[in-house]
Structures are given as structure tokens and as C-alpha cells.
Structure 1
Amino acid sequence: MSIEVLTLLFFGALLFFLVLGLPLTFVLGGVSVVFLYFTWGFDSFFMVASQIWSTMESFTLVAIPLFVFMAMILERTGVANDLYRMMHLWWGGVRGGLAIGTLGICALFAAMCGISGAAVVAMGTIALPSMLERGYDKNMALGCINTGGGWGILIPPSILMILYSLITGVSVGKMFAAGILPGVLLMVLTTAYIIIRCYLQPHLAPALPPEERASWGEKFRALRAVILPIAIVVMVLGSIIGGITTPTEAAAVGVLGALISAMVYRKFTWSLMHEAAIRTFKLTGMIMWILFAAHAFSAAYQSMGAQELIEGLMEMIPGGPWGVILSMMLIVFLLAMVLDPVGIMLITLPVFMPIVEGLGFDPIWFGILFVINMEIGYMTPPFGFNLFYLKGVVPPSITMQDIYKSIIPFVLVQVLGMGIIMVFPDIATYLPDLFF
């Protein structure tokens, strides 16, 4: 049977079972095992087991449960409440100020914990009611929370960057350094969008009335709220960039910072530790099973001759090397709407990376584009994770359709940012070259 027919059957079976609503792990693993058996026989299972075993031995993977545990603790310490109060006092007097402040808090959360859900849930609980109460347009309020929450996988430390490095063999430290300037760029572009939109349509995000604005003394006293988050960011990123720790060891430093934060806010209890640990086990277990299933998928598809097929298809794409990169980004963008980011990485990267390197592109630069695409996937329907995180904390009056509608202009801003990084790759590669 030809590779083209096998590809249609393989992906058709995947799509069929995903549409039925079966978990991604069982679909990826189950379909792959069946195809492996009928194409290579029983002995092919040893190849899958060997790949999984080599993955389990990776020291880099230790960082994932540590960063997740760090996020679970920070989510419950009260850091978000104090940060929002500070942003409220400083930015409330500006049109769209509460939305801009919310973006700033999301960026800080991203730099502390490396996952997207923590900032979305925290700001959906704290910032959204405040913005709606003060007359903010719900699309503006929902969109900025959804967007800012997604930066958790771009601004280092990022769990997806760790997985990207594990799959592709590039340096985790270089990926972390590469994410800083693109994260700042996306924050600046999104802030500029809010400022311009609110200037043209002031009713979307009115400034606080003068009687609700803070004095300068209150503003400066509120700045104490950022000391602890910035200290955690410096502990994690500073220890990596300074060469004191590896990214995996820095995750343990981050957990220490989160525990100190819980003690400072007097939230450190055994029940907090127990709940954070249980949620960490659940989330890490889910990631690991998807990782194992995707290894089976990768082994199955590559054993059918996928590399030759994909390379042949890429040669047919008009536009030369840039046409290939744009096609890859489009494929990832479409997959991110319906599949888990970890699964997408493990399905596409083993196929894409040899082509990217063969065309002479920097794998660090490509990795940043890939991660931004994953971030956009977190906020796009129908299955973007941030959409469901947000739906879980919004008032009953806000429907899923409202959340879907709110993200359209913000997605366009993120795509613009990705386009700028494509045209000016130094935005992603300057800091890795400087630090390493």
C-alpha cells in the first residue's frame, strides 16, 4: 500500500475518533499501535517502547512538574489580588487602563509560572468583575484576559519550550532567552491596540472618575505588590541566564520562591500543599501520557515513510523556503484549533525540523514562531484551552459565543506580531546569541 493511501487512512482514523470525542491520548496511541502492527508486525512495538524509555530518562522533563507545582501554589497565595490592586491604582485613570494593567499582570504571571491557565483563572476571577462593573465593553475585557493568559507559554519559563527543546534537541536556556523580546513585542502591540481602540471609541473602556483615583502616596505604597513577583522572576530567569542553574534546576528555585510567597501572604498550609500537589500530579500525568502516545504516533508515521512524503509535498509549495515556513505555520495554526498543543508538537516537529534545518532556518527562531502559534491556539475556537478556563469563572450572563467573539481582534494582533518576528528574526535570536 502506498504512503499516500496510508496517510489518508491514518489521519482519517485519527480525525474520526477525535470527532467521536475520545481522549487524544487513547486516539494517538491506539491508532498508532494498530497501524504499526499491520505495517511492521509485532516487533515494531519494541521501537515505541525504546523511544518512550529514552524520553523517561530525560532530566529536562523534571522541570515540568516543578513549574506546574509552582503555578499551582502561586495561584492560591493572593499575589494576583495585590497585583491587580496596584495596577488598578496606577492605570485606572486612563482609558482602557484596567485592561492594560490586566495585560501587565498576565505578563508577570507568565514570567513566574510558565503555564497559561493560572493567569486566565486569576484575572477572570479578579479583574473581569471590576472591569464590567466600571462600564468596560465585555469583548474588550474578555479579549485582554484571554490574550494575556496565553503569554504563559511564550514568556519564559515555559513548559512548551521545555518540550520543544526535548523534541528538537535545541538548548532550553536559548529558547527561554529567545522568548523574552517576542513576549515584550506582543505585549506592546496588544497595549497599543487597546490604547488606539479606546481613543477612537472611549465608551469601550472608560477611565475611572476622579473621585475613585488614587493619590500618589497610595500608588507608591501599592508598588510593594510587585516586589515578590519580580523577585521570583529574577530567581528563576536570573539563575538560568547567569549560568548558576540549568533550566530544570531553576524550576526548583521557582518552587522555593512560590513557597516563600505563600509564607509571606500567610497562606502556607498543608491543605494548600496537598491541593497543589494533587493538581500537579493530574496535569503532569496528562502531559506524560500524551507524550508517550505521541511518540507512538511519531514512530508509526515515520516508519511508513512520512519524511519522504512531507519533503516531496514541501518541494511542491510555491514561494521557495518562505512558502514552506508559511505553510508549516498555517498547518500548525489549523491544528491548534482542534488538538492539544503537546500532541501537535509531537506530531509535527519530528517531521518539520529536518526540513527547517535543511532550508537553513534557525531552529530557535522557528521555535518561537511555533510557540506563538500554540499561544494563538490556546485562545481560538473551538477547543482553545483559555476559552474554557475563562468560561469556568465568568458570570452566567456571558456566553461561550461572547468569549469566541471577543478574541477576533486580539488574534489578529498576535498574528501581526508573529509576522514581524518572521521579517525581523533578530527579535528572537538576539538575546540567545548575547547570553549564550
Structure 2
Amino acid sequence: MSIEVMTLLFFGSLLFFLLLGLPLAFVLGGVSVVFLYFTWGFDSFYMVVSQIWGTMESFTLVAIPLFVFMAMILERTGVARDLYRMMYLWFGGLRGGLAIGTLGICAVFAAMVGISGAAVVAMGAIALPSMLSRGYDKQMALGVINTGGGWGVLIPPSILMILYALITGVSVGKMFAAGVMPGIMLMVLTTLYIVVRCALQPDLAPALPKEDRASWPEKFRALRSVLLPISVVGMVLGSIMGGLTTPTEAAAMGVLGALISAAVYGEFKWSVLNEAAIRTLKLTGLTMWILFSAHAFSSAYQSMGAQALIESIMAMIPGGAWGTIIAMMVIIFFLGMVLDPVGIMMITLPVFIPIITALGFDPIWFGILFVINMEIGYKTPPFGFNLFYLKGVVPPSVTMNDIYKSIIPFVLVEIVGIILIMIFPEIATWLPELLF
């Protein structure tokens, strides 16, 4: 049977079972095992087990449950509430100020937790009611929270970056460093969009009335709420980029910082630790099963001769090397609408990375483009995770249709960001080259 027919059968089976609603890990692993058996026989299973064992021996992998646990602890402290109050006092007097302040909080949260859902849930519960009660346009408020919440996978520390580094063999520290400038750039671009849009349509996000604005002493007192988050960020990122610790050791320091934060805010309780530990176990277990099944998928598809097929397809794409990059971005973008980001990484990276390196592109630079696409995937319908996180905390008056519509302009802004990084690769590569 030709590789083309095998590919159609393989991906057709995956799509069929995913549409039935079966979990990604079991679909990916189950279909792969069946195809492996009929391609190479029973001995092929030893190859899968060998790959999984090699991955499980990776010390870097320990960082994942540590960063998740840190996020779960911080989510239950008063950090997000105090940060929002500070931003409210400082930016509320500007048109769109609460939206811009919410973006800033999301960026700080992203630099603390490394996952996408924490900031979405926190800001959906705290910032959204505040913005709506002050006359903000519903879709503007929803889009800001959805967008800022997604930065958790781009602004380091990021669990997706750790997985990308594991799969591709690049340095986790370099990936973290490479995410800093693009993260800042996307925040600036999104802020500019809000400022321009509010200047053209003032009713979308009115400024607070003068009587509701804070005095300067109140503003400066509120700045104390930033000290603890900045300390946690400094512990994690500063230790990695300063060459003092590995990402795993820095994650352990981040957990310590989160526990100290919980104690400061009076949330250092057995119930909080217990719930955070159980949620960490569930999320880490889910990630590991997807990782295992993705190894089976990679083995199965590679054994069919996928590399040669995809290289021949890429060779037919017009535009040479850049045409290939753009085609990859389009493929990843559409996959992000329907599949889990970890699954997409496992499906595409074993195929894409050899092509990227053969074309002479930097895998760190490509990794940032990839992660931004995954971040967009978190908020694009029909299956973006942030859409459902947000729906879980919004008032009944906000429909799923409102949430879907709200992300359109913000996705366009992020696509502009991807184009800028493609045109100016130094945005992603300058800091890792400077530090490492």
C-alpha cells in the first residue's frame, strides 16, 4: 500500500475517532498502535517503549508538574485580586485603561505560572464584572481577557516551551529567553490596538469618572501588591537566565515562592494545598498520557515513510523556503482550532523540525512562531480551551457567541506579530544570543 493511501487512512481514522468525542491521548495512541502492528508487527512496540522510557528519564520533564503546582497555588492566593486593584487605580482614568491594565496583569501572571488557563479564570472572575459594570463593550472586555490569558504559554516560564525543547533537543533556557521580547511585543501591539480603537470609538471603553479615580498616595500604596509577583518572577526567570539553575530547579524555587505568597495572603491551608496537588496530578497525568501516545504516533507515521512524503509535499509548495515556513504556519494555525496543543506538537514537530534545520532556519526562532500559533489556538473556536475556561466564569448574559466574536480582532493583531517575527527574526533570537 502506498504512503499516500496509508496517510489518508491514518489521519482519517484519527479524525473519525476525535469527532466521536474520544480523548485525544487514547485516539492518538490506539490508532498508532494498530497501524504499527500492521506495518512492522509485534516487535515495533519495543521501539515505542524505548522512546517513552528515554523521555521519562529526562530531568527537564520534572519541571512540568512543578510549574503546574505553582500555578495552582498562585491561583488561590489574593495575588490576582490585588494586582487588579493596583491596575484599576493607576489606569482607570484612561479610555480603555481597565482593559490595558488587565493585559498587564495577564502578562505578570503569565510570567509566574507558565500555563494558559490561570489568568483567564482569575481575570474572568475579577476584571470582567468590573469592566462591564463601568460601561465597557462586552466583546472588548472578553477579547482582552482571552488574549492576555493565552500569554501564559508564550511569556516564560512556559510548559509548552519545555515540551518543545524536549521534542526538538534545543535548550529550554534559550527558549525561555526567546519568548521574552515577542511576549512584550505582542503586549505592546495589543495595547496600541486598544488605544487606537478607543480613540476612534470612545464608548467602547470609557474612562472612570473623576470622583472614582484614586489619589496619588493611594496609587503608590497599591504598588506594594506588585512586589510579591515580581519576586516570584525574579526567582524563576532570573535564576534560569542568570545561569544559576536549570529550569527544573527554577520551577522548584517558583513553588517555594508560591507557597510564601500563599502564607503572606493567609491562604496557606491544607485544603488549598490538597486541591492544588490533586489538580496538578490530573493535569500532569493528562499531559504524560498525551506524551506517551504521541511517541506511538510519531513512531507509526515515521515507519510508514512520512518523512519522504512530507518533504516531497513541501518541495512542491511555491515560494521556496519561506513558502514552506508559511505553509507550516497555516497548517499549525488550523490544527490549533481543533486539537490539543501538546498533541499538535507531537504530531507536527517530528516532521517539521528536520525540514526547518535542512532549510537553514533557527529552531529556536521557529519554536517561538510555533508557540504563538499554539497560543492563538487556545482562543480560537471551535475547541480553544480559553473559550471554555472563560465561559465557566462569565455571567449568564454572556453567550458563547459573544466569546467567539470577541477574539477576531485580537487574533488578527497576533498574526501581525507573527509576521513581524518572520520579517525580523532578531525579535526572538537577540536575547538568547546575548545571554547564552
What is the TM-score with the length of structure 1 in the denominator? 1.00
- Could you tell me which residue of structure 2 aligns to residue 101 of structure 1? 101
- Could you tell me which residue of structure 1 aligns to residue 187 of structure 2? 187
- Could you tell me which residue of structure 2 aligns to residue 349 of structure 1? 349
Show CA shifts across 1:8-45 (max 9, x none).
00000001111111110111001000001111111111
2:223 aligned counterpart, secondary structure: helix
- Report the Cα distance in structure 1 between the residues aligned to 2:112 and 2:21, rounded to whole angstroms: 34
2:42 aligned counterpart, secondary structure: coil
- Could you tell me which residue of structure 2 aligns to residue 40 of structure 1? 40
- Could you tell me which residue of structure 1 aligns to residue 323 of structure 2? 323
- Could you tell me which residue of structure 2 aligns to residue 366 of structure 1? 366
2:293 aligned counterpart, secondary structure: helix
Amino acid at match of 2:411: V
1:337 aligned counterpart, secondary structure: helix
Q: State whether structure 2 residue 295 is matched by structure 1 residue 292.
A: no
- Report the Cα distance in structure 2 between the residues aligned to 1:323 and 1:170, rounded to whole angstroms: 24
- Report the Cα distance in structure 2 between the residues aligned to 1:125 and 1:215, rounded to whole angstroms: 26
- Report the Cα distance in structure 1 between the residues aligned to 2:13 and 2:116, rounded to whole angstroms: 30
State the number of aligned residues. 436
Amino acid at match of 2:49: A
Show CA shifts across 1:231-251 (max 9, x none).
110110000111110011100
* Aligned residue runs from structure 1 range 278-317, under 5 A: 278-317=278-317
- Could you tell me which residue of structure 2 aligns to residue 432 of structure 1? 432
- Report the Cα distance in structure 2 between the residues aligned to 1:218 and 1:253, rounded to whole angstroms: 32
Amino acid at match of 1:396: P
Amino acid at match of 1:297: F
Amino acid at match of 2:119: A
- Report the Cα distance in structure 1 between the residues aligned to 2:364 and 2:31, rounded to whole angstroms: 32
The alpha-carbon deviation at position 79 of structure 1 amounts to: 0.3
- Report the Cα distance in structure 2 between the residues aligned to 1:20 and 1:270, rounded to whole angstroms: 40
* Aligned residue runs from structure 1 range 254-265, under 5 A: 254-265=254-265
Amino acid at match of 2:345: M
- Report the Cα distance in structure 1 between the residues aligned to 2:312 and 2:373, rounded to whole angstroms: 24
2:338 aligned counterpart, secondary structure: coil
Q: State whether structure 2 residue 402 is matched by structure 1 residue 405.
A: no
- Could you tell me which residue of structure 2 aligns to residue 144 of structure 1? 144
The alpha-carbon deviation at position 327 of structure 1 amounts to: 0.3
The alpha-carbon deviation at position 405 of structure 1 amounts to: 0.3
* Aligned residue runs from structure 1 range 134-173, under 5 A: 134-173=134-173
- Report the Cα distance in structure 2 between the residues aligned to 1:289 and 1:375, rounded to whole angstroms: 21
CA RMSD of aligned residues (A): 0.4
Amino acid at match of 1:70: M
Show CA shifts across 1:156-213 (max 9, x none).
0000000000000000000000000000000000000000000000000000000000
Amino acid at match of 1:330: V
- Report the Cα distance in structure 2 between the residues aligned to 1:295 and 1:336, rounded to whole angstroms: 19
- Report the Cα distance in structure 1 between the residues aligned to 2:2 and 2:393, rounded to whole angstroms: 49
- Report the Cα distance in structure 1 between the residues aligned to 2:43 and 2:241, rounded to whole angstroms: 45
- Could you tell me which residue of structure 2 aligns to residue 61 of structure 1? 61
Q: State whether structure 2 residue 271 is matched by structure 1 residue 276.
A: no
Amino acid at match of 1:363: P
Amino acid at match of 1:364: I
- Report the Cα distance in structure 2 between the residues aligned to 1:154 and 1:63, rounded to whole angstroms: 16
- Report the Cα distance in structure 2 between the residues aligned to 1:201 and 1:174, rounded to whole angstroms: 41
- Report the Cα distance in structure 2 between the residues aligned to 1:327 and 1:225, rounded to whole angstroms: 45
- Report the Cα distance in structure 2 between the residues aligned to 1:241 and 1:41, rounded to whole angstroms: 46
Show CA shifts across 1:298-343 (max 9, x none).
0000000000000000000000000000000000000000000000
- Report the Cα distance in structure 2 between the residues aligned to 1:37 and 1:175, rounded to whole angstroms: 36
- Could you tell me which residue of structure 1 aligns to residue 126 of structure 2? 126
- Report the Cα distance in structure 1 between the residues aligned to 2:187 and 2:302, rounded to whole angstroms: 38
Amino acid at match of 2:110: A
Amino acid at match of 1:153: V
- Report the Cα distance in structure 1 between the residues aligned to 2:295 and 2:375, rounded to whole angstroms: 22
Amino acid at match of 1:42: F
- Could you tell me which residue of structure 1 aligns to residue 30 of structure 2? 30
2:47 aligned counterpart, secondary structure: helix
The alpha-carbon deviation at position 349 of structure 1 amounts to: 0.2
- Report the Cα distance in structure 1 between the residues aligned to 2:133 and 2:394, rounded to whole angstroms: 13
Show CA shifts across 1:35-84 (max 9, x none).
01111111111111111111111111000000000000000011000000
2:383 aligned counterpart, secondary structure: coil
1:110 aligned counterpart, secondary structure: helix
Show CA shifts across 1:236-280 (max 9, x none).
000011111001110000000000000111110011100000000
- Could you tell me which residue of structure 2 aligns to residue 335 of structure 1? 335
